[in-house]
Amino acid sequence: MKMKWMAAAVLAAGLAMPAAASAEMERPADFEGISYGFEDFDRGLISSSKLFTYDSGLTFEYPDAVRGIYLTGHSAGGAKFEQLVDLVDKTDLNAMVVDIKDDFGYMTYEPAPDSPLAEMGIGQPYIKDPRAMLERLEEKKIYPIARIVVFKDTVLAEKRPELSYTDGGKVWKNGRGEAFVSPFLKEVWDHNVQIAIEAAKMGFKEVQFDYVRFPEGFEKRADTLGYTFGEYENSELDPVQRRVQAVTDFVAYAKEQLEPYGVDVSVDIFGYSATLPEAPGIGQNFSKISENVDVISSMIYPSHWTSYFGIAKPDLEPYKLVAEYAKVENEKLAELKDPPVSRPWLQDFTASWLGSGNYLKYGKAEVEAQIKALNDSGIDEFLLWNAGNRYTAGVDYTP
């Protein structure tokens, strides 16, 4: 993709020049009379050049294969943080996914007063000193990934109902009391990209976008809820493809905006999205999203499947479920010219809500079975999900 030299020069100046030096520069008296020549410049060259890449001052090497765990803002900023650092340090784990914008829409730290995000009023003091947290991860060689929940955003929806969906004049919420904002709206994109840029400047080496989708079951409400289509108002695509286009466009836009900051971009996606041409209600097309990211992270918890692969009770057969899913994903990714890294989310929790006889108490054997199924399928990376950040002890993470 091409960009004009002038834009590149402005970008380089903004990233490479100290603020104090920039402030001291005087505007030439005959500024209006200066003319510039424009030449096409290759964006790929710019994004790979140190001159045009932001340097946070922290150094993290990409591991042999990312093997990570998830941390809430409370865990990352509280007493549990050191326990989890110790877990990673003493095992073959090597990465942490840390909430930077959580499932409600709050940022998990308070932005600096001069940050454009400060005036939003969405910062929370969960992580008192995110830079110190990252320096600790640097010390322990733990690869840091910033999780940003995108379109599930109750806080923004309530502050700005026009960015959300309304029902009877009120912000619509799902059965769990959660509100969403619209993937059709560029203002929503920019809000999340700005948070991602701040995470990259802070020192995170990867930004992971979650809830990159419309609400579940949206196809049943699309004609009754109030919302605007933004730049997609005059789209000639059918409703399903219009949703797919909006979600895919956001991912591509975010990736492009983050290029100067030297971070990888990953997206969490429903596992079943890989088994369909696209998920019709939520706008996720596995292949189209995969074409625009560095890493794709399908959520393939055995507990969350029905008898999709002919497995009557998937939670009881973690190895088989993951192995069957991996076959489908491998086929999908093999069709792409430049496929992303596959790094699925695995289950390290017990799904007791499935009822007696339908679930296992997940522990060492069940976690290892999922990892082995991935490894046997040629997938070496994974992330472990436990909402309370209580991970099974004694697991062999490279079985």
pLDDT digits (tens, 9 = 90+) for 290-304: 999 999 999 999 999
CA–CA dist 221, 84 (Å, integer): 41
Per-residue confidence band for 30, with pLDDT thresholds at 50, 70 and 90: very low
Amino acid at residue number 81? F
Q: How far apart are the first and last CA of the chain?
A: 42
CA–CA dist 255, 114 (Å, integer): 25
Sign of CA dihedral 372, 377, 381, 386: negative
Q: For the chain, give the mean pLDDT.
A: 89
CB 130 within 8 A of CB 202: yes
pLDDT digits (tens, 9 = 90+) for 300-335: 999 999 998 999 999 999 999 999 999 999 999 999
pTM for the model stands at: 0.87
pLDDT digits (tens, 9 = 90+) for 87-104: 999 999 999 999 999 999
Dump the DSSP string for 151-219. Answer: SB-HHHHHH-GGGB-EETTEE---TTS--BB-TT-HHHHHHHHHHHHHHHHHT-SEEEEE--SPPTTGG
Phi, psi of 385 (to 5 degrees): -110, 125
Report pLDDT for 213.
98
Residues contacting residue 395 through CB under 8 Å, at least 6 positions apart: 91, 364, 367, 368
